Structure 1
């Protein structure tokens, strides 16, 4: 560009800047509007082919309208429930019939066996959305008319309301915390005023574009968004945009110090960093798209949404950021202005990274063996991480009204009260199916849905299309392992009834099916993601052995992270386990994002090795990229840690796994294990490329300016 007319050297950056300003001004507000097209209806995120999912459709015919139960539980204040209190409870919920949002008459008020509590199930419409809290408040207000009792509301409707409350304000709070953390770290690390602001603006523009695209697709039903997907999208775009921007900005500073001309420096920086950035983005985007192979709807939803976010992050980092850097030049790094002295500083690297490189160079085998042993020891704890799902009282971090009410309900009634196992079977085999269900260990009671109002109880069983519905109350809590075992046995017994064509669903069955599907997803998706990453690394590095080693180290880092997570979750945070999908989410994010830093490192190592040879190329690559990659890792970890502001165990667990794993990968795997391993293997690591042959890459060092021409 040096010989181009002056106006041509400015027109492209100005045009790009104007385009992104238009995108930011027009589409930026969509970052706060995704909640309008999001749904937190958990029934919509079940396995497509599971038996419990089929039951959801089949049971609709037995209900005047599809409903979500709110279980009202009264406890007597220090005494037995009186007959008058039971009658008052029945009147209170009976008055709710026919009100907006209530789909059918509430069930009778039933006194517990210990005589200390009363319960009634109020069926609510499943599509109340933002009106759900108001309807629950109306139910609570009516229930509080029973004198001498304390009232709680449990069940799926109450849990759904608490979930909506947890995600309330997610747009502003989560993005604000994440951007604040990124800005603070960048200011401390780079001691520059303008550069952190430019990088933040780049991330905000990318997020606005991504949210606008996702909003348009979700509004047309092409993708599904819930609060979890919404939160992860914001964090993913901010973290990835910052990572890519840091790499481009660091390369621009290096080239600017050598060339002096800002336009030439920007062009060289983009050209030399685009391969690493696009390869890194491809690993994350394709890794996320591999989630389309999942049978869980929310996993499939995250795939394309996350990939869209990554593409927008790349576009912003490779267009908006270079355009601004051209226009600002050295001023972007004020008060530190890069000059010729920075070229030497860049070549020599930061003092700390030179010491680390010297340590690795002196004893590479000792370094990679010791770090590998550390990771293997940590990975040894990974089997202790249970991913069988979390009980209802652990879904939320801290207190939630539905959790307290559920605990009260479990103390006084059979654990499965209000969340029965639902059996759909042929009407002419109803008696045999009911007998089989009643004979199942762990089933407290079995009642048919009757024609009298469609509620379970006495009377003539309701027959729809030749089928009946039986509700089986379980003795164990609906979210417990014991209840899941009961459902398994219940299925075996009713399936064995000839001609019944029986199906078993309900909350416990849904949890069990989700757990089984998640295990299946891991066996399918994990190899696909590893294969995608391996192919991308082979194409980028033009080698086979190095990509295999990189994938192996990242996988080991993931297992080590799971091991640490098992210790932290169980002994420090008090979690009995994780949601069934947490390990898969952690794998996709951590492995795909962890490979990013190895891509940044090894693409530079290969570039340096072509001129200096493998040993010196590894050391030079480590020194020149150490600071920026470590900064990117710290920023990404802090960004994901921002998910902890949402009081949900699922997101807290994902946040810890990714944040800790990224730091472990950045500080140990990329900084010590990989460089030491490559140096110890030597040029053979590049097999079968030309770099693996003797004499390749031993020529004189070529200056950056010369290499760019």
Structure 2
């Protein structure tokens, strides 16, 4: 497969022409309008179990409890304290009055319970809410409770609502209006960078409009996909898909417009210019997007539901972006004519300087001293990897937010005065005949504060266990593992579930997914590079460079997280998702550079290394750097949402894309090509090309 064929072969239908361009734009508007107005909503997943596989022990325990009818209610916990001072007798009376008042929120008349802390400094009130309540219903109830408590608690006393329902409400609040904020922030960043790139007052409007519409249509496409494919959506997956569509779609637009602008200097007829531009840019764009789609589809093998959501949803989003970039954008660009590029209007017959300017000087500097600049680049990447030695992963439920919502502060207060697991007890589902022995075994486990029998039905009993360790910590995980070991010795069919058990199962699932998905992604990228370049050496080296970039980006980002954001750890899903995005997206820039160098080497009389790679870097430098900076900025926009996982993905991918664009593609790869010479292309035909005097291509060359 040749990526650049001089426009001699047609790869896609040319949907441009004096009338055809208008028709395509009109049809695109109609189709987009129908898609945007379609009454289709995506199947959504529960955030609480988004990372837990369906066959995990904790999920099986939850499913059994559901069958028993033991999970019809879930408590919202009201924690009352005076911030370190003992509660007075009047405070205790007020707590009893509040408990009676809050009874109105209890589902089905289930009794509200209350408890005074042993230190006398806090009290809690448990309000049973329906476990089947929708997010909107929970938001209404919790907000009313918080408003009522603010009015009725005695002066100086603090009331905080926490527990499972409150965490659900606060997490939903993170994404309340998130789509709009993310859309405007992303569009603003893209508009600003496009304006800088093209220095035209209106050229940027066309790609921004096309990509923006593609982003919104992708939401509908993903919603339809959830009806037929094995995935759902959640707030995080929707945000990441939107960023992928905007980032990748704008990159494809930059490459196509760069080709179009160059062809306008060759052709009088703008439609002919666009046809050639599509022929030359489409193979590179399809190869690039195909790599990303295949890499995202690898997440379909993940155990973690959230990873599958991002993988399948992101793949549909990228496909949508490619369709709009290659079918709609060419027509939209040709409708206004050359004036769209004002004040730098390309005219037929203008020269295209290929050995002048900043990027030619960079190329000359790198290829003249490949050992020195290559060593410096490798040393820089190695230094950035050093912080990986202190990297930690795994965030508890209270550590998911950048801002600190009431559910988190309430949980912290609860942990100061009560057993940390009081708000969300661990459950053990066992056979009723063995329940007494299982209960005794659970009570004997170190770290268990209390255990009591709960719901009983269908020959099974649920035992509720309160552990003393803070939620989702290593100490809590150790207690869960000991509890599973102890109870299974009494009843081999006993299942341990609950919030801490789900977090432990999610941790194990994330570890398994990393060991499976990362090699799969590397094989996909390696296969694509082998198909494009016909060189084993080139493919392996380019894959190694993006892996090195990933490690360096993780190290640099960890420094940022610990010294700027003060994050305690990485979210469990971040290492895998960051790897996938960086490898799949980062290799694109190497694809554009290496395929252009291959094209130049094939047309060179004898030189297959320094001359072709210098020219390839010179003519691709501007557009690829613009694309890389834009993609990094778009991913950084994820930081507008106050959820740590999205901020971490945005920062890591942003740093990695910049390293790929400015260090690996600009310095390291050209240095390797120069040093290895024809061996870089082994065993392809370029490695056997007869050597000759270093010569430069004689034809006029344009950027991809």
- Fold match (TM-score > 0.5): yes
Match of 2:154 in 1: 147
Deviates further, 86-95 or 293-302: 86-95
Match of 1:456 in 2: none
2-side partners of 1:359 and 1:592: how far apart?
29
- Supply the RMSD in Å over aligned alpha carbons: 2.6
In structure 2, relative to structure 1, the CA distance for the partners of 1:8 and 1:471 (3 Å cut) is: closer
Tell me by how many angstroms 1:219 deviates.
5.8
In structure 2, relative to structure 1, the CA distance for the partners of 1:678 and 1:168 (3 Å cut) is: same
Match of 2:124 in 1: 119
> In the TM superposition, what whole-angstrom CA distance separates every residue of 1:648-693 from its partner, at most 9, and x where no partner exists?
1111111101111111111101111111111111111111211111
SS at match of 1:463: strand
Match of 2:63 in 1: 57
> Could you tell me whether the CA contact under 8 Å between 2:542 and 2:587 is conserved in 1?
yes
Tell me by how many angstroms 1:702 deviates.
5.2
Match of 2:418 in 1: 413
Tell me by how many angstroms 1:500 deviates.
4.9
2-side partners of 1:190 and 1:373: how far apart?
35
In structure 2, relative to structure 1, the CA distance for the partners of 1:103 and 1:682 (3 Å cut) is: farther
2-side partners of 1:550 and 1:290: how far apart?
20
2-side partners of 1:68 and 1:256: how far apart?
66
1-side partners of 2:492 and 2:402: how far apart?
43
> Could you tell me whether the CA contact under 8 Å between 1:447 and 1:471 is conserved in 2?
yes
Tell me by how many angstroms 1:636 deviates.
0.6
SS at match of 2:571: coil
Match of 2:264 in 1: 256
Deviates further, 625-634 or 124-133: 124-133
2-side partners of 1:503 and 1:371: how far apart?
52
> Could you tell me whether the CA contact under 8 Å between 1:589 and 1:658 is conserved in 2?
yes
> Could you tell me whether the CA contact under 8 Å between 2:611 and 2:695 is conserved in 1?
no
> Could you tell me whether the CA contact under 8 Å between 1:565 and 1:657 is conserved in 2?
yes
Match of 1:401 in 2: 406
| 1:539 is the counterpart of 2:531 | yes
> Could you tell me whether the CA contact under 8 Å between 1:29 and 1:208 is conserved in 2?
no
> Could you tell me whether the CA contact under 8 Å between 2:41 and 2:223 is conserved in 1?
no
Match of 1:701 in 2: 697
> Could you tell me whether the CA contact under 8 Å between 1:678 and 1:685 is conserved in 2?
yes
Match of 1:666 in 2: 661
| 1:385 is the counterpart of 2:385 | no
Find 1:24's aligned residue among 32, 36, 39.
32
Match of 1:677 in 2: 672
Match of 2:474 in 1: 481
SS at match of 2:463: strand
> Could you tell me whether the CA contact under 8 Å between 1:610 and 1:696 is conserved in 2?
no
How do residues 499-510 of structure 1 correspond to structure 2 at under 5 angstroms? 499-510=491-502
Find 2:617's aligned residue among 599, 615, 622.
622
In structure 2, relative to structure 1, the CA distance for the partners of 1:706 and 1:94 (3 Å cut) is: closer
Tell me by how many angstroms 1:398 deviates.
2.0
| 1:445 is the counterpart of 2:450 | yes
SS at match of 1:418: coil
Q: Kindly tell me the number of residue pairs found equivalent between the two proteins.
A: 686
Find 1:298's aligned residue among 293, 306, 313.
306
Deviates further, 563-572 or 239-248: 563-572
Match of 2:462 in 1: 469
Segments of 5+ residues of structure 1 without an aligned counterpart are 450-461
> Could you tell me whether the CA contact under 8 Å between 2:425 and 2:467 is conserved in 1?
yes
SS at match of 2:336: helix
1-side partners of 2:522 and 2:586: how far apart?
12
Match of 1:521 in 2: 513
How do residues 32-51 of structure 1 correspond to structure 2 at under 5 angstroms? 38-51=44-57
SS at match of 1:323: helix
> Could you tell me whether the CA contact under 8 Å between 1:636 and 1:659 is conserved in 2?
yes
2-side partners of 1:554 and 1:517: how far apart?
25
2-side partners of 1:209 and 1:196: how far apart?
20
How do residues 302-341 of structure 1 correspond to structure 2 at under 5 angstroms? 302-339=310-347
Match of 2:3 in 1: none
Segments of 5+ residues of structure 2 without an aligned counterpart are 1-6, 9-13
Tell me by how many angstroms 1:26 deviates.
2.8
How do residues 99-498 of structure 1 correspond to structure 2 at under 5 angstroms? 99=105, 102=107, 105-126=110-131, 127-143=133-149, 145-148=152-155, 149-218=157-226, 223-339=231-347, 342-345=350-353, 347-348=354-355, 351-387=357-393, 389-449=394-454, 462-497=455-490
SS at match of 2:351: helix
> Could you tell me whether the CA contact under 8 Å between 2:15 and 2:327 is conserved in 1?
no
TM-score by length of 1: 0.91
In structure 2, relative to structure 1, the CA distance for the partners of 1:260 and 1:619 (3 Å cut) is: farther
Find 1:604's aligned residue among 596, 600, 603.
596
Tell me by how many angstroms 1:586 deviates.
0.5
Tell me by how many angstroms 1:572 deviates.
2.0
In structure 2, relative to structure 1, the CA distance for the partners of 1:328 and 1:494 (3 Å cut) is: same
Match of 1:656 in 2: 651
> In the TM superposition, what whole-angstrom CA distance separates every residue of 1:188-211 from its partner, at most 9, and x where no partner exists?
222012321111012012213211
